[in-house]
């Protein structure tokens, strides 16, 4: 009974270890600190510039309602800051272990290679959520301190309560976190191919850049719906009454597809990897 109980508990211990590895490093907190600074910089610039100027969209509404600092900060972080953070964490996930020489011990542990990979992917998913929630919380605090707050005017022209707006902003943070899972899956696969973390990070970010370039070429718009970031901006549909779910659903399916393909590729790689690799 004793050995069997220890075997059952080991996956949980492995998951706790992965969480500590992701959130216990100074690099992780530095990345989250940079993300937390985004709403501070945006809010301070608007506040001390005397308003939103000629800005359009969510950014242009921040001066009149601090609530919109949350949504604007998430939107402005999505093209670069959030993907960069996910690139760093996912690229280091397996390659970092290999570079430190701890990968061999992990592969021979009772949890097995499949459970190890699953623990790392779940930890990366939680980091994606932590990243977007860091911006959400920072935007909430800064927006409420620097600007007036009140009922929220949606894109459809409907006005809802502040509480309703905050719930929608929370949903936006969760949707953006889910939108980053495809990139995290790519990074996990690339990380399984090398023992050099910097190379894995560079290759993952390079893949993200290439996909972004392809998304900007109108002559190949036939493939755009299949590219990773095609539906990333669908989060704005939560700011309508009622929300438009079609684009959101397509984006989530696309991210699930990318995640499934590259997670399977990473699994195939580490389950066939030499124990000394």
Supply the mean pLDDT for the chain.
Answer: 89
Residues making up the chain, counted from first to last: 277
User: Is residue 145 scored above 90 in pLDDT?
Assistant: yes
What is the full DSSP assignment across 116-185?
Answer: HHHHHHHHHHHHHHHHHHHHHHHHHHHHHHHS----EE-TTS-EE-HHHHHHHHHHHHHHHHHHTHHHHH
Q: Where does the pLDDT of residue 104 fall: very low under 50, low under 70, confident under 90, or very high at 90 and above? A: low
Enumerate helices (H) and strands (E) in the chain, giving the number of each.
Answer: 11, 2
pLDDT tens column, 55-64: 678 999 999 9
Give the separation between CA 194 and CA 190, rounded to whole angstroms. Answer: 7
Contacts (Cβ under 8 Å, ≥6 apart) of 80: none
Q: Tell me what pLDDT residue 160 has.
A: 97
Could you tell me the pTM of the whole model? 0.91
What is the full DSSP assignment across 233-263?
Answer: GGGGGGGSSS---HHHHHHHHHHHHHHHHHH
Q: Tell me what pLDDT residue 1 has.
A: 44
Percent of the chain residues topping a pLDDT of 90: 73
pLDDT tens column, 195-215: 889 999 999 999 999 999 999
Lowest average pLDDT, out of 32-41, 43-52, 96-105, goes to 96-105
């Amino acid at each position: 009974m004793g050995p069997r109980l220890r075997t059952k508990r080991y996956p949980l211990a492995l998951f706790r270890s992965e969480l500590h590895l992701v959130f216990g490093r100074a690099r992780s907190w530095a990345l989250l600190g940079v993300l937390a600074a985004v709403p501070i910089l945006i809010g301070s610039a608007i506040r001390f510039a005397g308003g939103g100027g000629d800005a359009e969209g969510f950014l242009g509404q921040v001066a009149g309602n601090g609530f919109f600092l949350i949504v604007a900060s998430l939107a402005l972080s999505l093209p670069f800051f959030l993907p960069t953070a996910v690139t760093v964490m996912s690229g280091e996930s397996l390659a970092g272990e290999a570079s430190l020489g701890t990968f061999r011990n992990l592969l021979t542990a009772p949890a097995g290679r499949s459970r190890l990979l699953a623990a790392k992917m779940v930890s990366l998913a939680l980091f994606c959520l932590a990243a977007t929630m860091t911006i959400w919380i920072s935007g909430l605090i800064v927006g409420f301190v620097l600007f007036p707050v009140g009922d929220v005017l949606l894109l459809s022209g409907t006005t809802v309560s502040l509480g309703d707006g905050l719930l929608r902003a929370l949903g936006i943070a969760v949707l953006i976190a889910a939108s980053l899972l495809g990139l995290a899956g790519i990074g996990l696969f690339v990380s399984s191919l090398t023992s050099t973390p910097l190379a894995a990070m560079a290759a993952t970010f390079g893949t993200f850049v290439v996909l972004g370039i392809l998304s900007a070429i109108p002559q190949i718009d036939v493939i755009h719906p299949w590219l990773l970031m095609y539906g990333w901006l669908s989060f704005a549909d939560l700011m309508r009454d009622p929300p438009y779910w079609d684009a959101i659903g397509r984006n989530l399916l696309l991210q699930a597809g990318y995640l499934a393909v590259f997670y399977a590729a990473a699994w195939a790689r580490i389950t066939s990897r030499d124990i000394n690799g």
